Structure 1
Amino acid sequence: MKFGVHFLLPCGIGQTPIARYRDALAQGQLAEELGFESVWPAEQHAIPSQSVLSCPAVFLAALAARTQTIRLGTAIVQLPLFHPLRVAEEICTLDVISGGRAELGVGRGTHPDHYAGFGASLAVSRERLEEGLDYLRKALSGQPFDFHGRHYTAEAARVVPEPVQPGGPALRLAANSVDSFRAAGRAGIPILTAIHINPPAVLAGYLDAYHSARAEAGHQTATPDDITVLTPIFTAERESEVTQFMGPAVDYYAALMRGNLTTLMRRCGDPSGVFARLLARLDQLDLNAMRTEQAVFGTPEACVKTLASLAEQLGAGRFLAWFDFVGTTPAADVERSMRLFAAEVAPRLTERLEGHCPSSVRQ
């Protein structure tokens, strides 16, 4: 079992981007000190209340200079917004800077403001995503390649610098709809998914589609390392602390997501019904509801129990812990939660799942 730390950087009232990045980089350094296996920042654009982290590779380069061993992954780069050659160049440069620690998580993204800002079309975003995946699988090796697609063409192209890792940084696809799970399965690549977007019961069905698509395409059976699950996490010694810190966080999250989804539905429609289902859940969302199936908030004992159930249900080999959930929790309390998780949750969870007592978070 592997444990990573996820970063999204919303700016709260009166908070500056300078302070937000300072705290996040400090938490990334702490993650390495505590033995976490990896860090995974997400790319967002145009909405500072949601995040000021628009360039995950730049953030990871800064963190690479402050760390030695922790792996550095993007979760995610919105691939349809950029030429895949540029994405490959950035992640391979990070691989060189970090001494071979880079991983590339990509996804489609759906927010119209993100697409409008780059003059990109949502209508062809899935085509560009799937073609971009094919392109990246050739480009990340660092060797010369040709590519002929509808959206991208290359003749004897090559990524410079060549990555440190043989074959290039590992590629993963963010999957939160059944179409994305199937696309990842057809490509035979690992996935990143999130329980705050889809509850575990829904994800289990999507994972069935992923495994079926892999088999139909002739790929090897997925292993637990192919399945990474992102979840908001807050570990506290007492239940009263969970209520104190996560109650306001959930209220803020629900209001923010409600506004974002309403905008998305107005601009893009909702042909698959995903946004409508999410809005219905948000209307009922409070701390207790979120703890039921969208987050892992609680004492160490409660967190171990919940994460063990998720790992067994979903076949996950890595959890990405979103400790600094929506930015409402003071940095000192975020770090206290990280320390408690590393000391009391990760070792016990790994022992429960793998039958031995580990010496650190990284396994």
Structure 2
Amino acid sequence: MDLSVMFFGADDAGAGHTAKYAGHTAKYDDILAIARAADRLGFTAIWTPERHFQQVGQVFPNPALLSAALATATERIHLRAGSLVLPLHHPLRVAEDWAVVDNLSRGRIGVSVATGWHSTDFVLAPAAYQDRRERAFRDLALLRRLWAGEAAEFTDGTGGRVAVVSQPRPYSASLPLWTTTSGSPQTWEAAGRMRTNILGATIGQTRDELAGKIRLYRDAYAAAPEQPGAPPRGTVTLMAHTYVAGTDEAAREQAGAPLKEYLRSYVAQTAANKQAAAHEGAVASKPAAGKGARAGALSEEQLGTLTEFAFRRYLTWGSLIGSPETCRKSLADLADLGCDEVACFVDFGLGRAEVLESLRRLADLGGEDR
């Protein structure tokens, strides 16, 4: 089982420009310190997301830019986008940016492609929102060809068509690709058909549900034709909130409050996403429905009840929060499901010292299998 470190962030850097500036500066200091420690401790990769205009992930607008900094601060650990919202970007720019990081890191990169879901993110590319899924999967195939050095035709400033080759040329012959899924079985199957690796999460689904999706992915991957640079067998990477302490009680006491706050944000965001999807579908089928088609928001009481339920269930299965022995059993269970790598989500509200101590304990567990 490979162990990686995932950043996602759910913190509020404070009110006012000065406080936010100082808070964000400190956050980048934390990321650099944790990345250097993960590199020394033997973790497989560091994942950084792409987020825009929200509390969650305030300091992560560009994984390529941050990975370029991490490339010069680390020596062996892989640097991956988890995830890059491909419909927001021209595929040529993606190929160019990640080729720079690939050269700086001497081939230590990987990219997980997401379709995007939050409509506000698409102020960066408003025309790409409605067909974002189709665009992502189409451009993923194009990205593979660009990385391999193939010329591709695009429209230039005069409206003519011109063939270009992405520069600089990357260090690696092929680009390691993942597809990000929020849980849809269709996305798991699509990732298999495209022969990409897959980046999912344990949260929000049962063990049996996840086992079924992994089987679906494996079957689709095995049946799919070969793709340039794709390995014979795909990698299943699962994100899990992680905090390893001396005892279960200590882990739950220290991680409980920040994890509940994160889960509260997750529950509210998930509910809002479902409401937006329902509204979008209702408007598409009944244009006269208007704003009345949008479901009502959760009340504070409902949100609190759902958060507590999610917290209790997540401690029972899906997280790496507990003693070394508890986390060892959780890792073995995920391996039995067919998981190849756990991306350990560490920055959900804990301090730098707590995260570093947790990673040291976790590295000891990973070292037992090496």
Q: Distance in 2 between matches of 1:172 and 1:281?
A: 34
2:166 match: secondary structure: coil
Shift, 1:49, TM fit: 4.2
Range that drifts further, 137-146 or 252-261? 137-146
Partner of 1:11: 11
Q: Does 1:95 align with 2:102?
A: yes
- The residue type paired with residue 138 of structure 1 is R
Partner of 1:288: 312
Q: Does 1:237 align with 2:237?
A: no
Shift, 1:224, TM fit: 6.4
The 5 A counterparts of 1:221-260 are 226-260=235-269
Partner of 1:361: none
Shift, 1:50, TM fit: 4.3
Shift, 1:282, TM fit: 3.9
Partner of 1:329: 350
Partner of 2:363: 342
Partner of 1:354: none
TM-score of the aligned structures, taking structure 2 as reference length? 0.83
Q: Distance in 2 between matches of 1:196 and 1:227?
A: 15
> Conserved in 2, the CA contact under 8 Å of 1:107 and 1:173?
yes
- The gaps in structure 1 that reach 5 residues or longer are 351-357, 359-363
- The residue type paired with residue 340 of structure 1 is R
Q: Distance in 2 between matches of 1:338 and 1:283?
A: 26
Identity of aligned residues (%): 28
1:123 match: secondary structure: coil
- Structure 1 117/84 Cα, relative in aligned 2: closer, same or farther at 3 Å? closer
Pick aligned residue for 1:309 from 322, 333, 350: 333
1:11 match: secondary structure: coil
Pick aligned residue for 1:201 from 198, 201, 208: 208
Q: Distance in 2 between matches of 1:157 and 1:201?
A: 47
Range that drifts further, 254-263 or 127-136? 254-263
Q: Distance in 2 between matches of 1:117 and 1:156?
A: 25
Shift, 1:40, TM fit: 0.8
TM-score of the aligned structures, taking structure 1 as reference length? 0.84
Partner of 1:355: none
Q: Distance in 2 between matches of 1:76 and 1:50?
A: 12
> Conserved in 1, the CA contact under 8 Å of 2:188 and 2:216?
yes
Q: Distance in 1 between matches of 2:115 and 2:234?
A: 22
- Structure 1 225/178 Cα, relative in aligned 2: closer, same or farther at 3 Å? closer
Q: Distance in 2 between matches of 1:280 and 1:186?
A: 40
Range that drifts further, 39-48 or 115-124? 115-124
- The residue type paired with residue 342 of structure 2 is F
> Conserved in 2, the CA contact under 8 Å of 1:7 and 1:42?
yes
Range that drifts further, 156-165 or 192-201? 192-201
Q: Distance in 2 between matches of 1:50 and 1:259?
A: 15
> Conserved in 1, the CA contact under 8 Å of 2:222 and 2:233?
no
Q: Distance in 2 between matches of 1:224 and 1:291?
A: 31
RMSD: 2.8
Shift, 1:54, TM fit: 0.9
Q: Distance in 1 between matches of 2:194 and 2:204?
A: 23
1:33-71 Cα distance to aligned partner (Å, 9 max, x none): 111121111111111344321111111111111111111
- The residue type paired with residue 46 of structure 1 is F
Range that drifts further, 77-86 or 258-267? 258-267
Q: Does 1:263 align with 2:269?
A: no
Shift, 1:145, TM fit: 4.0
1:91 match: secondary structure: helix
Partner of 1:137: 144
1:243-271 Cα distance to aligned partner (Å, 9 max, x none): 22221022201221233223323333289
- Structure 1 270/217 Cα, relative in aligned 2: closer, same or farther at 3 Å? farther
Shift, 1:171, TM fit: 1.3
Q: Distance in 2 between matches of 1:270 and 1:309?
A: 38
Shift, 1:184, TM fit: 1.0
Shift, 1:242, TM fit: 1.2
> Conserved in 2, the CA contact under 8 Å of 1:237 and 1:300?
yes
Alignment size in residue pairs: 337
- Structure 1 219/204 Cα, relative in aligned 2: closer, same or farther at 3 Å? farther
1:117-152 Cα distance to aligned partner (Å, 9 max, x none): 53244320111011011111111123434589xxxx
Shift, 1:305, TM fit: 0.4
Partner of 2:288: none
Q: Please identify the structure whose Cα radius of gyration is greater.
A: 2
Q: Distance in 2 between matches of 1:2 and 1:147?
A: 39
